[in-house]
Every structure is written in C-alpha cells, then in structure tokens.
Structure 1
Amino acid sequence: MAGPLTGMRVMDFTRALAGPHCTLLLADMGAEVIKIERVKGGDEVRRMGPPFINGESAAFMASNRNKKSITVDLKDPRGREICLRLAKWVDVLVENFRPGVMKGLGLDYPTLSQVNPRLIYCSISGFGQTGPMANQGGYDTVAQGMGGIMMVTGVPGGPPVKAGVPIIDLGTGMFGALGVLAAYIARQQTGKGQHIDASLLDSSVALGLIDGSDYLASGDLPMPLASAHRRIAPHGAFRTQDGYITIAADAAPATWTTLCRILGKAEMETDPRLADNTQRRKNLPFLIAQIESATTTRESAFWLEKLQAAGIPCGPVNNYDKVFQHPQVLARNLLVENVHPKAGRVRMVGKPLKFSDTPATDLVPSAALGEHTTTILQSLGYTADELEQLRREKVI
C-alpha cells in the first residue's frame, strides 16, 4: 500500500549505517530509493557479521529493505554519465562520503544542481562540510566521545561509556531524513532544491540538548548517574528478585507517599533524608538502597502489577529476547517478517511510525547487488547493446 512519500525518488550513495538509515526511513515511508553500489563487492555492510542468514548479513538486510540496487563504477566517465542521467530523474540524493569525494567524482551539489535545479542533496559526514575537521572520517563512537555523551553515560566514578546502540549513526540518519523532508516541503514553495549538511558530531552535540544547556547555564559539568534522572528521584532501574524494573516517579508528594506504601517502606516518608525531591536527589545512593531493600524481596512481575495498578509509571528491563515477546511490542507490529530470496524468512524490527491514511505496508527484502541495474538503466534510455557493453567492461 502507498506511503506518504510514494512518488519521491531518491538516489542513494550511502553505505555503513548513518546514511543508509536516512534512506531506510525514506524508503519505509514509500520513497523509491535507488542504492548505487560499487561493481565489485557493493556496500561493505553486505559482508558485516555475524550474524549471517544463509550468507546474508542481518545488519545489511535490516538497513536496506525496501531499496533497489544498481552497480556503477563512479570513476569511469560512463559511470558518471549514468549518475548524471539519474540525477535529472530523481527528487533527492543522499551521500555519506568524506567532504570533497563527490566533487572529485563530478557529482557534487553545485554540479548536479545545474543538471536538476529541483534536486535536494543531503550530505552526511563525520564532522560536516566546514570546519578544521571537515575532511576527517567519523564514526559513531568518536562522535559520542567528542559530543559529550560518553561522559554522562555509565556509573558515577566509572570510565566513559558508549551507549549500547549506535545512537549517533541512527540519530544522524533521522536528522538527515528530517532535513530531506523539510527541503521537500520548501521546494513546493520555491521550486528549487537545496543542499543539506548533516554530521555525526552535530547530531551528538544536538542530542545533548538538555545536559549541554545545563552546563551552559550553570557552568557545572554533568556527571554520569547510571539510570538515574538529573532532576527527579526516584527515577531509574532498580534490582528485583529476578532482574530489574524501571520506576519513573514524578516529584509530587502524593506519588512519593504512594510508592512508599506499595514498597512497604512507610518509614521512608518520614526520613528527613528523603523528605522531598531535592533531598532524595542529594541522597541518591541511600534512596536506591532503601528502594532495593524492598524490590529485591519479590520478582519483577509482582512489583510491576502493584505499581501499574497505582498509576506509577514503570516497566520491565528487557533484553532483546524479552523485547520481541512483549505483547505491546507485538501489538505495535514492531516484529515483522519478510521472505528474502537467499536468506528465506527473516524477522526484523518493524517501522516506528503508523500512518492512518498512507500506511506504507510494503516490506521488500534487501536487494541483491545490482539487482535493478538493467531495469533502472533501461528507464534512463540505455539500449540492450549499450548495457551489454557497459557490463562487459565492468562499468556496471
């Protein structure tokens, strides 16, 4: 079924994760995404693993569903000509080479905007198109460290800790997709495309909006607090008899009273060290110890039932085996399946957005390397003889 971006055509020069996540979001919403890969080997993530399913990379299949694949030698003038023809035909181009690479290939924004003034061109890089580090390569871990995130993640007094998922790669992909959509709307008013400059470092600093703003306002460096909240206590993960649960209590006195009674810890209500939210934050280790002296006496399910019945926000702390068994996750279609021609039936993470009128329910498996080269180039006017020669000479 059609999605909200059905009719949008995207030229995708990305590989690894940040760029492919940007184009995945567009593809999942119905855009026709044409992934342009190297003739030999394609995107290196095709070989990233384990896990593999019948030789197919799970990571690649997850990030490249709903996309088409063509192979082009970008260094051959005939390969560049293919890209120029394609650029006339698409709405959007996304690339995540280091700054200057696309210019060296003759495929930079100033060049392609002459070919197609309506083209929206999104560049994703480690550090952006400007500044003293623009030409350096970037990775999620590097950006997490430089942007401050690693210094506020982990336990008090511990070493810097990287977030368990590649939040900067994924976040930059989301920012890139947001930029594409904003430029797409702007084009409806102006008739012109524009260049979008997104980077891992910019995303890392932007995702630190609250902690960074706190520092700029106070001059105090935020420190890691494990799972605790900087402003509200109790708020975080707490041990139980069989694992952990999260409790996200607000600062209201009534909530604190209710929590103390559920835990069977009425004495906490009158303890001056826990008298209000300010005192609870100041005495956080003591607070955690008091709560866990109760929560560790029973299993997680017991406490979750009690807390939920009282209206206190809470939840289990799941590993992924439990995530994909949870009834709410299943009800939200966050576990989906498609049938890959080589890997067979593949389970993967579903789409996070639900559209009432344009649901974009298609789930096409990731394409084989160059699977759509012939059909796409034929649509650009290449004849069978021309395609055979290009293939024989390894241009495609």
Structure 2
Amino acid sequence: MSTSDDETTTDRTGPLHGLRVVEVGQLLAGPFCGQLLGDLGADIVKLEDPGRGDPLRQWGRERPQGQSVWWSIVGRNKRSVTVNLRSPEGQDIARRLIADADIVVENFRPGTMERWGLGYEALRELNPGLVMVRVSGFGQDGPYAQRPGYGAIGEAMGGLRYVVGDPSTPPSRMGISIGDTLAAMFATIGALAALRERDASGRGQVVDSAIYEAVLGVMESLVPEWQLTGYQRERTGAVLPNIAPSNVYPTRDGIWMLIAANQDTVFARLAAAMGRPELATDERYATHVARGERQKELDDLIAAWTSTLDADDLEALLVEHAVPVGKIFRPVEMLADPHFRARRTITEVEHPVLGGVQMQNVFPRLSRTSGMIRWPGPALGEHTEEVLAELGMAPEEVAALRERGLA
C-alpha cells in the first residue's frame, strides 16, 4: 500500500471516503474516471463480464508474467465483481448495487444501458440521488450519438490531432490515450459538481462527458481565432508560432533541453546567463512581438550557445539565473530525479504477482485528507463474494451464479 503523503499516516481514507461508486465501463474513459474517484477514497465496485473482464486487463506493450501493468494502475483501489449484465440476474444485481450508490460510471455506446434496463430514468426510480456519469465519443444525443466513438476519433474531431506533429508529416497522435483521459477528467469534475448540487437539492442528475468535447475544451482559442480572424492553427513541431524562445535545444553531450524564456523579464535573465545581456535590449529581441517575428533566428542563436555546454552544466546555470529549464524525461530520469523522490511523485505498490510496482502516485495532493493507493488492480472477480455478501446473498447463491456463468 502507499499514501500520497506521509508514510506514517496509515489511517487516511481520502476526501471521498463514504461514497459508493459502481463502475460498469471498460477500457479507458470510464475506468480512468473510476480510478480518479477511487484514488480520492471512494469505494469503487467495478462490474466486469465473467471470463473476459475489462479488455484493459490485456492491454499494454509489456505484460510481465502475463500481467497488464496498465491494469495495475487503472484498476487500483477498485473491487472487482464479475456479473453478466446481459442476463436478467446480472441486471438485478447491478440494480441492487446502484440502489445504494452515489455514482454510477459507464462508457458504453448510448442506449446500451437502456437495453439492459439500467438507463437513468429507470435507475433514478430506485435512487433519486444517483449521479450517473456517462462518457461516450459524441455525447448522449445529437446525430452522431450512436456512432462508435473511440478516443482517437474524439481527438481528431475535437481539433487536437490536426495541430500535433511536424508540418512535414500527417497529423500525429500524442503517444497516450489523451482523448479518453481528458473525457474522464471532465467526467470526474462533473460528478463532483453534481454531488455538490445534490447537497442542496437532494436530487441526482446525468453527467454527459463526450470525448470530442473534452478535447475541444482544452483547445484554447482555436475556434475564435478562425471565426474572428481566419487564422488556422497548423502543425508546428516543437514550437508554438510567435512564442519565443520556447523550444528544445541541443547540448554538447547530446541531450535535449527545454528552455522557456518567452517573457520579457525571463528573456533578460536568459541573455545574462548566455553572457549576452545586450540581447535583452536589442530591438530585434527586446519585446515579445519582436522575438516572435524572429523566432527561428533566435532559436538558432540559443542552440549555438547550448551546444557548447553539457546538459547538467546548462541546467545548473539556467536555474541559477531563474530561467525555466527542464530535461526531456523518460522513466529512467523520473525514477532517478531527486524532486520526484522527495515528493514521492512515483510510489511503489505491492502486487501479488509482480511484487513492487512503481507507478504514478495520487494527484492532486490535499493537505489534510490526501488520497492513497490501497491496492493495485485486482484479479478478475476477486471481490465478487465479498460485495455480493454485502447485498445479503448467501455463498451458495453466488456459487450457483458462477456455475451458470452469470457471476
């Protein structure tokens, strides 16, 4: 087990302790929402199909000893219950669990839950205070609602894919499933907002988080730039046009360093670090607009300087001059970095098969009631007997369901 703060604090339960969440989603968007809520202390009961489970259990490039390390993160703090939601018995179990829940999270194609008798209108009859979080590609209504909507499609239609990559290549992807995780983050915010409103009204509601809208939500001023001025953002590689200097620069020992010194006062400090203080008052570089107009020229000048220094020396010099600088980290650098270690940004969680698994800790940190990782992603159906017993089901009832492939 791991806490996100003080190792001597073993009784932390998180700010959402006491909340019951039933998660019926799979793959990433719904389960990541469940992970975030579970990290902060909610009791996450994850319903999975018997025999198959969440497909995410099989995902990830590396699967040591047949285990998905990705699942160990996304499934952490959850209780796995196997139940066949396509059967009347499974649907009845889901209704009984949801009747006492605060939140239900699902990310199936719109209409799926309704076909199972688990739509919001039916569930709120059982539980008027229920908050139903629904994550989908295109939202719960509109002409595209019934389309399959993976995260990649949301990234494309939300505007992100077009602006990512080098201008000489086709649109690129981010290297992670950013569309799904953004939709999950917006879903989590919506769930917490709905719970806050429930405190006043006593009523639940639906949180409708569409992947393409979540992506669009972080696209800054992309739309009004086009609407008001006709400016279309294009792929620009490692830079943002007219924001200079802010780029990756080479060092003598072959390491790329990111330097962000586009503000006037910060650029002056960079110029001093370079031994070229006159650059800060040179009319070609003295202002934000001037530096933007000469972006490549300025980047070439800085790159010529950084190439004369080793990365560690460059970093130390720029830190001394209060210039934002950072190496391009991979896991090997993260695990060795003293700041990561001091804040326990990466923590070790004991896994029953893999032993100690190092993974990202719980974020954000709360000063009094921080969340914690209580266990990694569980085995399929690990908590079925435990959770169904809480519903009053006898062991022989659960065994009978298992024999029929329903649990």
Q: TM-score range by the shorter chain?
A: over 0.9
Whether the aligned pair in 2 keeps the contact of 1:280 and 1:287 (CA below 8 Å) is: yes
Pairing 1:97-176 to 2, within 5 Å after superposition: 97-176=108-187
| Letter in structure 2 aligned against 1:138 | G
In structure 1, the partner of 2:9 is none
Question: 1:139, CA displacement in angstroms?
Answer: 2.0
Whether the aligned pair in 2 keeps the contact of 1:119 and 1:193 (CA below 8 Å) is: yes
| Letter in structure 2 aligned against 1:247 | I
Secondary structure in 1 matching 2:182: helix
Whether the aligned pair in 2 keeps the contact of 1:4 and 1:359 (CA below 8 Å) is: yes
C-alpha distance in 2, partners of 1:60/1:84? 26
Distance 1:332 1:211, change over 3 A: farther
Structure 1 stretch displaced more, 279-288 or 110-119: 279-288
For residues 168-207 of structure 1, the C-alpha deviation after alignment (integer angstroms, 9 at most, x for no partner) is: 1111111111111011111110111101110111111111
In structure 2, the partner of 1:344 is 355
Indicate which of 29, 38, 47 corresponds to 2:40: 29
TM-score by length of 1: 0.95
Secondary structure in 2 matching 1:222: coil
* 2:73 aligned with 1:70: no
Distance 1:342 1:251, change over 3 A: closer
C-alpha distance in 2, partners of 1:217/1:304? 41
| Letter in structure 2 aligned against 1:44 | P
Distance 1:166 1:282, change over 3 A: same
Secondary structure in 1 matching 2:70: helix
| Letter in structure 2 aligned against 1:84 | R
Distance 1:276 1:89, change over 3 A: same
C-alpha distance in 1, partners of 2:177/2:405? 35
* 2:68 aligned with 1:57: yes
Length, aligned pairs only? 395
Pairing 1:151-300 to 2, within 5 Å after superposition: 151-230=162-241, 232-241=243-252, 242-252=254-264, 254-265=265-276, 268-269=279-280, 273-300=284-311
Whether the aligned pair in 2 keeps the contact of 1:18 and 1:169 (CA below 8 Å) is: yes
Secondary structure in 2 matching 1:150: helix
For residues 305-334 of structure 1, the C-alpha deviation after alignment (integer angstroms, 9 at most, x for no partner) is: 111111111111212211222111122211
Distance 1:210 1:329, change over 3 A: farther
Question: 1:270, CA displacement in angstroms?
Answer: 6.6
For residues 240-263 of structure 1, the C-alpha deviation after alignment (integer angstroms, 9 at most, x for no partner) is: 2221111111432x4333322322
Secondary structure in 2 matching 1:207: coil
Question: 1:346, CA displacement in angstroms?
Answer: 1.4
C-alpha distance in 2, partners of 1:308/1:50? 37
Whether the aligned pair in 1 keeps the contact of 2:259 and 2:325 (CA below 8 Å) is: yes
Whether the aligned pair in 2 keeps the contact of 1:38 and 1:71 (CA below 8 Å) is: yes
Whether the aligned pair in 2 keeps the contact of 1:156 and 1:226 (CA below 8 Å) is: yes
Whether the aligned pair in 1 keeps the contact of 2:76 and 2:373 (CA below 8 Å) is: no
Pairing 1:3-18 to 2, within 5 Å after superposition: 3-18=14-29
Question: 1:272, CA displacement in angstroms?
Answer: 5.0
Whether the aligned pair in 1 keeps the contact of 2:349 and 2:373 (CA below 8 Å) is: no
| Letter in structure 2 aligned against 1:16 | L
Could you list the runs of 5+ residues in structure 1 that have no partner in the other structure?
Answer: none
Structure 1 stretch displaced more, 384-393 or 53-62: 384-393
Whether the aligned pair in 2 keeps the contact of 1:9 and 1:91 (CA below 8 Å) is: yes
Secondary structure in 1 matching 2:381: coil
Question: 1:265, CA displacement in angstroms?
Answer: 4.2
* 2:321 aligned with 1:310: yes
C-alpha distance in 1, partners of 2:33/2:27? 11
C-alpha distance in 1, partners of 2:69/2:97? 29
C-alpha distance in 2, partners of 1:226/1:23? 34
Question: 1:273, CA displacement in angstroms?
Answer: 3.9
Could you list the runs of 5+ residues in structure 2 that have no partner in the other structure?
Answer: 1-11
Question: 1:57, CA displacement in angstroms?
Answer: 0.4
Runs of 4+ in 1 over 6 A off after TM superposition: none
In structure 1, the partner of 2:6 is none
Structure 1 stretch displaced more, 381-390 or 80-89: 381-390
For residues 49-91 of structure 1, the C-alpha deviation after alignment (integer angstroms, 9 at most, x for no partner) is: 3311321101111111000000111111111111111111111
In structure 1, the partner of 2:346 is 335
Question: 1:267, CA displacement in angstroms?
Answer: 6.6
C-alpha distance in 2, partners of 1:209/1:130? 25
* 2:384 aligned with 1:373: yes
C-alpha distance in 2, partners of 1:279/1:204? 32
Structure 1 stretch displaced more, 215-224 or 50-59: 215-224
Structure 1 stretch displaced more, 292-301 or 259-268: 259-268
